[in-house]
């Protein structure tokens, strides 16, 4: 399973890439707003650090305007993936961008029917928001399982990015379901590695090493 970092924070991205486990980055307007930096320079900086796809979201609401924004962003780098919201305008954009060979990440997916239509329109990726479904007492990972099943039934090439990840179990279940990608906040990446027995073990080995005759 590929790991994308769901952040626009340069320090977090640098750390994740240095760990050798980050395959890409996803951003959205809310994540960009936290950084208080110029939008295009920030995206360019992220692209210069990350050796893979970087999702950048369009913010227009009409298809023609969204395509215009998408074409501008896609010019920056071939690693730019255009994030498009799932609605009828968004579907038109996905189809147009697929014809132009521009990759898309269809976002705000909350149902299997949305994921099926996005794939039919030619989406490169879809992003089911599992945490936000759990927040309203739904089952976000069950949605991922259903989408994987549907894509498998019809051999769609669209890849599933498990998004709105809140904790390591989301990540582990995504891998068990064979999801293609999990996009995770940096805080979750840290939690994936933490284990008290590892910390105790390292401490004990270091103490015993002091007692070894050298």
Structure tokens at 162: 């498990």
Asked if 177 interacts with ligand G3P (CB under 6 A), we say no
> Are residues 109 and 126 in contact, defined by beta-carbon separation less than 8 angstroms?
yes
Burial 122-135 (b: 16+ CB within 10 A, else e): bbbbbbbbbeebbe
Based on the residue annotation, tell me whether 214 is a catalytic residue of this protein. Answer: no
Which residue in the set 74, 164, 170, 189 belongs to the binding site for ligand G3P (CB under 6 A)?
164
Task: Pick the closer one to ligand G3P by CB: 93 or 126.
Answer: 126
**Residues recorded for the chain:** 214
- How many angstroms separate the CA atoms of 89 and 74, rounded? 19
Q: Pattern of binders to ligand G3P over 182-201, x per CB under 6 A?
A: -x------------------
Asked if 158 interacts with ligand G3P (CB under 6 A), we say no
Asked if 131 interacts with ligand G3P (CB under 6 A), we say yes
Q: Which of 210, 152, 199, 154 is nearest to 177 (CA)?
A: 152
Footprint (CB under 6 A) of ligand G3P, residues 98-127? 127
> Are residues 72 and 40 in contact, defined by beta-carbon separation less than 8 angstroms?
no
Query: How big is the site for ligand G3P, counted in residues (CB under 6 A)?
Result: 10
Closest distance to ligand G3P from the beta carbon of 186 (Å):
12
Which residue in the set 3, 12, 28, 90 belongs to the binding site for ligand G3P (CB under 6 A)?
28
Asked if 26 interacts with ligand G3P (CB under 6 A), we say yes
Q: What are the helix (H) ranges across the chain?
A: 10-18, 29-33, 39-49, 63-76, 88-99, 112-121, 130-135, 140-153, 168-176, 186-193, 196-211
Which residue in the set 6, 106, 109, 179 belongs to the binding site for ligand G3P (CB under 6 A)?
6
Secondary structure letter of residue 158 according to DSSP:
P
Asked if 14 interacts with ligand G3P (CB under 6 A), we say no
Active-site choice (15, 37, 83, 213): 83
Closest distance to ligand G3P from the beta carbon of 212 (Å):
47
Residues recognised as catalytic: 83
- Residue ranges binding ligand G3P (CB under 6 A): 6, 26, 28, 127, 129, 131-132, 163-164, 183
């Amino acid at each position: 399973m590929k790991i994308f970092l769901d952040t626009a924070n340069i320090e977090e991205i640098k750390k994740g890439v240095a760990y050798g486990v980050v395959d890409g980055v996803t951003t959205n307007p809310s994540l960009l707003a936290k950084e208080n930096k110029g939008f295009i320079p920030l995206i360019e900086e992220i692209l210069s650090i990350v050796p893979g796809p970087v999702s950048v979201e369009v913010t227009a609401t009409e298809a023609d305007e969204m395509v215009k924004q998408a074409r501008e962003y896609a010019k920056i780098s071939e690693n730019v993936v255009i994030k498009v919201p799932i609605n009828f305008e968004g579907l038109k954009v996905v189809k147009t961008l697929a014809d132009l060979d521009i990759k898309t990440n269809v976002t705000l997916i909350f149902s299997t029917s949305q994921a099926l239509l996005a794939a039919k329109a030619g989406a490169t990726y879809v992003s089911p928001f599992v945490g936000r479904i759990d927040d309203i007492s739904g089952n976000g990972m069950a949605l991922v399982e259903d989408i994987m099943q549907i894509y498998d039934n019809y051999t769609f090439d669209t890849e599933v990015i498990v998004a709105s990840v809140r904790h390591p179990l989301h990540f582990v279940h995504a891998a068990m379901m064979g999801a293609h990608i999990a996009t995770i906040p940096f805080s979750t990446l840290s939690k994936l590695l933490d284990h008290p027995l590892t910390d105790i073990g390292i401490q004990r080995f270091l103490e015993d090493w002091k007692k070894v005759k050298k």
